[in-house]
Amino acid sequence: MPLTLRTAARLLSDHGLLREVIHDDRWMMQVPDDPADDVPFSDITYDTRTVGGGSLLVCKGRFRPEYLDGLDRRGLAAYVADTDYSAVVDAPGLIVDDPRKALSLLSAEFYGRPQDELTVIGITGTKGKTTTAYLTQAILNAHSDGRCALFSSVDNCLDGHTYEESDLTTPESLDAFRMMRQAADNGMHYLVMEVSSQAYKVHRVHGLTFDIGAFLNISPDHISPIEHPTFEDYLHCKR
């Protein structure tokens, strides 16, 4: 189903995230009966620099209202945020409890739920994620004639044999679902991905169900005011 303002609002409401819809200077609980709200978004982004005609923007993290300056002229279709930005933009707003969770759910829907076309194997643990991920991909590639994709802290592989350097152990949710779509379109049957505790904590894998999960080990790591304040918090995210 194409992602439109109406289907996005329904999805967020079904997951208990939607607080209000801001539309034509009115606050309401659902999208009004307007054919314009059934036009599919051209893309979904969390980077205001990439907004173009028909874009859905998710305002996450330390977002500032001034980032929205000029986006109406560039064709912003709607925004998702935990704050009302109607004083800055005319585009409709979907006000949610957690933009990061919303980003993951909306990204999966925008890219046609590619995870349903793959057997997804998630690997977590303090040590050994990358080694285990590469070994698992090699085994599955041998089994499936090279039809296993990989997301790791070293490389991402979307076609079973071409490796490109990665930026994060677990990609941002939008990037993860975009790459899953590429992998599925490339004929991949499997995806092996490292899942970091930080990725879980900031909801990069929110709503993603793993077909297989591997928990390797646990020892104190990433304990800091920025990442995990306690070992209990770290263990909770790993678990």
The 10s digit of each residue's pLDDT in 44-86 is 999 999 999 999 999 999 999 999 999 999 999 999 999 999 9
Whether 1 shows a pLDDT value over 80: the answer reads no
Cα 225 → chain centroid: 24
Q: Give the CATH number, domain containing residue 29.
A: 3.40.1390.10
Burial of 17 (0-12, 13-18, 19+ CB in 10 A): buried
Cα 10 → chain centroid: 18
Instruction: Answer whether 92's CB lies under 8 Å from 21's CB.
Output: yes
Q: Are residues 166 and 78 in the same domain?
A: no
Whether 198 shows a pLDDT value over 90: the answer reads no
pTM of this prediction? Answer: 0.93
Q: Are residues 123 and 203 in the same domain?
A: yes
Q: Are residues 64 and 47 in the same domain?
A: yes
Q: What is the model's pLDDT at position 108?
A: 98
Q: Are residues 59 and 106 in the same domain?
A: yes
Q: Are residues 131 and 213 in the same domain?
A: yes
Instruction: Answer whether 130's CB lies under 8 Å from 157's CB.
Output: no
Q: What is the model's pLDDT at position 228?
A: 87
Task: Please give the residue range of the domain that contains residue 212.
Answer: 114-238
Burial 74-110 (b: 16+ CB within 10 A, else e): eebbbbbbbeebbebbebbbbbbebbbbbbbbbbbbb
Q: Are residues 64 and 136 in the same domain?
A: no
Whether 34 shows a pLDDT value over 90: the answer reads no
Average pLDDT over residues 174-201: 96
Q: Are residues 28 and 133 in the same domain?
A: no
Q: Are residues 195 and 91 in the same domain?
A: no
Q: Give the CATH number, domain containing residue 133.
A: 3.40.1190.10
Whether 236 shows a pLDDT value over 90: the answer reads no
Q: Are residues 120 and 197 in the same domain?
A: yes
Question: Could you count the other beta carbons within 10 Å of the beta carbon of residue 180?
Answer: 29
**Per-residue DSSP letter, 6:** H
Q: Are residues 167 and 74 in the same domain?
A: no
Average pLDDT over residues 159-169: 94
In this structure, the strands spanning 18-23 and 93-96 are antiparallel
Q: Are residues 226 and 127 in the same domain?
A: yes
Whether 218 shows a pLDDT value over 90: the answer reads no
Q: What is the model's pLDDT at position 187?
A: 98
Residue type, 174: L
